[in-house]
């Protein structure tokens, strides 16, 4: 497996629930290292730009509304197979389908308020990381 980086976001619902530390702990226990991090309240425009691939989808407005409803924690995770490893830790998009012990099973309330975002491939990870962090703000771990 290759050393990878992936973009992770703790969404507004999970920040509001005060479980950022519990979620970070799961990353660390799985061997993922935090290579960059910041808290940010996304504007509508920033949320639209980030989720631009979904702009034609019926849920786009709700998604943008939710992602700009409160501060999020944005981090770059680094480790062996980081993209897939993070997706496994997150669980399925809809918490009803998420495997027990995953972040979404434990902290998400609905398919909209689903606690975390994670890049879905190495290529999208590179684009998403650059959307939020200049390369000088990402640290090799």
Residues of the binding site: 11, 59, 87, 93, 104, 114
Strands (E), 67-121: 72-80, 116-118
Secondary-structure breakdown of the chain: helix, strand, coil percentages, each rounded to the nearest 5: 45, 20, 35
Q: Which of 42, 117, 129, 132 is catalytic?
A: 117
Point out the residue whose Cβ comes nearest to ligand RTP: 93
Asked if residue 4 lies in contact with residue 78, where contact means CB atoms within 8 angstroms, the answer is: yes
DSSP conformation class of 27: H
Burial of 106 (0-12, 13-18, 19+ CB in 10 A): middle
**Interface residues with ligand RTP (CB under 6 A)?**
54, 59, 63, 93, 111-112, 114, 117-118, 120
**With CB cut-offs between 5 and 8 Å by kind, which of Mg ion, ligand RTP, none does residue 118 bind?**
ligand RTP
54 annotated active-site: no
CA–CA distance, 79 with 27 (Å, rounded to integer): 10
Min dist CB 136 to ligand RTP, Å, is 26
**Residue 59 or 139 with smaller CB distance to ligand RTP:** 59
Min dist CB 128 to ligand RTP, Å, is 9
**Residue 22 or 120 with smaller CB distance to Mg ion:** 120
Catalytically active residues, by annotation: 117
């Amino acid at each position: 497996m290759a050393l990878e980086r992936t973009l992770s976001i703790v969404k507004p619902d999970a920040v509001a629930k005060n479980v950022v530390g519990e979620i970070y702990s799961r990353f660390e226990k799985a061997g993922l290292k935090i290579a960059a991090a910041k808290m940010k309240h996304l504007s509508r425009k920033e949320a639209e730009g980030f989720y631009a691939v979904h702009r034609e989808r019926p849920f786009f407005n709700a998604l943008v509304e939710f992602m700009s409803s409160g501060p999020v924690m944005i981090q770059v995770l680094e480790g062996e197979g980081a993209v897939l490893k993070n997706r496994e830790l997150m669980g399925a998009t809809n918490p009803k389908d998420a495997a027990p012990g995953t972040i979404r099973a434990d902290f998400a309330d609905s398919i909209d308020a689903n606690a975390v975002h994670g890049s879905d491939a190495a290529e999208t990870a590179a684009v998403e990381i650059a959307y939020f962090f200049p390369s000088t703000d990402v640290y090799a771990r």
